[in-house]
Every structure is written in structure tokens, then in C-alpha cells.
Structure 1
């Protein structure tokens, strides 16, 4: 499991990261709201620990924007703001859970375990669809109108990422992590090869979709 901690208290960040590491959980640390949003967008995490009171962008504004963009990564708000109204605001912004500081590490771990047992929202459907282009997740059959083709497992996993994020610019690192895993040592050239394969697949079924290269960043599925 890999967690992003967005918290302006650097000492707390380091303490949490140290204790999480002892539990076998890797952490990335960020102390600024706007920077945290960019990191969350560009990487695949299993969970985000998010403070509410952050420089440049508040935790609730960060979370609300993250959810509007379609990201479903579980988020636990960890904050000193513990009034009922403040809890409601945080949960309504899209938090999956809410912890009030000072926190007991044992309780944090229990909340993390609880969230990890929940079925992921993006797994509720066994297909991914965008404007007539569909992928059956079990069989890896890609279809557009009357035409279809079978994808390899890796091609299917890659297309699933695009279809669940249509029109969004996806960083190379995020795609590599989603398809090949966080600890992957796959070369980036492999991603370019599979993008080439998918473009040929889309052409073969006469789809109106295309995978656009965003120079220096990554790719986007567009119509």
C-alpha cells in the first residue's frame, strides 16, 4: 500500500511516515495544498491522508476539486477542526473518513484497514464506456458500434485507465503505476509501445476516439 500525506506540520508528517513504514506502508509527503492536488492527480495512491488547514489551497477545496475531476481514491481528513459542522463539511466535500487531532496511531491504522476492506467504487461495473466505445473488463473485448476486437491483458488494463478518465490528461507515471504497479521497473518505452498498439486497435474498429500525446506530461483519450 502507498499513501499520500498532505499535511503542513512537517514533524507530524515525518512521524506518520516512520510509523506507517513500520507497518509496511510507503508514504509520499507534501506540505502544500495546491502542490498536493497536483501530486494526487499525477500518481496512483491507495489512500490519501489530508489536513484541512493547508497553505495555498485548503484541504476541503482540494478534496472537492479532486472529486469533481472524477478521482475516487479514498481520503481520510486528519484535522484539528472537530466541530459537527466541520465534520459534515469535510464528509460532504468527498472524504471517506474524518479523524480529529491529536490522533491515536492505532485508531488511524484501524481506519485505514476499514477503508481497505471496502469494495472500490470504480470496480462496481464490469465494463468501461465512453461515447459508444466500451471495454468488457473480464474478456478485454473492445467495441465501438458494430465492430470489436480482443485486447491483451496489458492492452485491456491500459484502455480501462483511459476509459475511466476520458478527456483527462494522465501523466506517464500515473499510467505506469495503474497498469504495471507502484514498484514496477518497466521501462517507459514499453508504455509508448502499448499506446501504439491501442491506437491501432481503435483504428481497427473505426472508433472516433484517439489517444493524444501531451508532450512532456503523458496522454489523453479524446474524441
Structure 2
């Protein structure tokens, strides 16, 4: 799944970001409401994880903004507020679930998996199709004209990132951040090797290589 994690506790977000990536999810992280709004306008998220108390714009306002814009994925609120009226306020603007702080990261993971299964977003929202290429985020399956392509987890994450931004350039810096995380030290060889293997596998199914190199800009998926 493709998630947006919004919390001003950087230590917590680093931990959750790592756990979610290890579980095979793609994660964007924001530490304040302003950054979250910018990412929400760009990303096609399956789930939002919103802390209640945030600088610039709080989680309730972000939740309301997301629903008003037509977002149909799941929304999980993180909060230290346990009063009934607070929970009702969040549900009233479109939250699907609550998790009280402090919490065990494993419980968050379990709630997100459950929320992903019952999210109001249609199944097709997690099924990307760009030209003849189809990527099913739930089944972690890639096909080209009905022919399956076997990918590793890292290759799948890279292809998903490129397909979600099809026809637009994706810089290497963004790929490093999304696939390995902000705090991970990764050499250029790691990305080059992943990209080379992914291209090789895609070329077995199509006569035209869909991943272009844009010198000085990054890469672009063009079917």
C-alpha cells in the first residue's frame, strides 16, 4: 500500500517508516500540516496516518480536507486525547479508526492492515494501469498484456513509484528516499543494480523499454 504518515515526532516516524517499508509498503512522511497538504496534493495514497496535534494544520483539519477533496482511502488518527467528544469529532470529519498514544508499533501495523482491507476506496484505486502495464498493489503482481512479470519487493516498489508518476520525471533522490528511507546510507550502485534488473525483466515482456533515463532529471515511465 501507499501511505502518508504525518507526525511531528521524528523519532517515531523514523521507526514506523522503517517498519512499514520492511512490510513492503511505500511511505511518504510529513512532520507538519503544511508539508502534509503538499504531499496530499501530489500523492495517490491508499491510507493516511494523521497525528492529531501538528504544527500549522492539525490532523482533524487534514482529515476533513482529505475527505472534502474526494479521498476515499482509510484514515487512521493518532492522538493522546481519549475523551469521547474528541473521538466523535474525528469520526465526524471522516476518520476511520483511532489509536491512542502511547502505542505499540505492532498494533499500528495490525490496524493499518485491517484498515487497508476494509477501506472505502474501490479496489481499482490500488490497481494501476499505464498503457498495457498493470500493477496490482494488493496482490503485488505486475502484468503486461496478461503476461506476469516476477519482481522482487524492491523492484516492485520502484516500478510502483514510476508508474504512479507515469510520464513525469522521478529524480534519483526521491527514489532513494521512497525505497530505502531518509536515514539509510545507500550507494549509487544499489539503485543502478535494482533499475538494471527491473528493466531487464520488463524487456522480456515488451518490445519497448518503458523506463527512460532523463539525463540530469532522473527516470520516467512511458509505456
Provide TM-score, normalisation by structure 2: 0.55
Quick one: distance in 2 between partners of 1:186 and 1:123? 19
Residues 13 and 154 of structure 1: is their aligned pair in 2 closer, same or farther, counting only changes over 3 Å? same
Give RMSD over aligned pairs.
Answer: 2.9
Counterpart residue number, 1:9: 9
Look up the match of 1:116.
Answer: 116
Judging changes above 3 Å, is the alpha-carbon distance between structure 1 residues 103 and 120 closer, same or farther for their aligned structure 2 residues? same
Question: For 2:161, which of 176, 182, 203 is the aligned residue?
Answer: 182
- Distance in 1 of aligned mates of 2:26 and 2:166: 22
Aligned counterparts, 1:142-157, within 5 A: 154=131
- In the TM superposition, what is the alpha-carbon distance from 1:187 to its structure 2 partner? 5.8
Change in CA separation of 1:36 and 1:189 when aligned onto 2, cut-off 3 Å: closer
> Corresponding residue for 2:68?
68
Q: Which runs of 5+ in 1 are unaligned?
A: 125-151, 158-179, 191-223
Secondary structure class of the residue paired with 1:182: helix
The SS at the match of 2:98 is strand
For structure 2, the residue ranges without an aligned partner over 5 or more in a row are 135-158, 170-223
Contact conserved, 1:82 with 1:100, CA < 8 A, in 2? yes
Judge conservation of contact 1:34–1:62 (CA < 8 Å) in 2.
no
What are the superposed Cα offsets for residues 32-55 of structure 1, whole Å, 9 maximum, x if unpaired?
A: 112202211211122111001000
Shift in CA distance, 184/56, structure 1 to aligned 2, threshold 3 Å: same
Larger RCO: 1 or 2 (CA < 8 Å, sep 6+): 2
| The structure with more radius of gyration | 1
Spell out structure 1 runs of 4+ moving beyond 2 A: 119-124, 152-155, 180-187
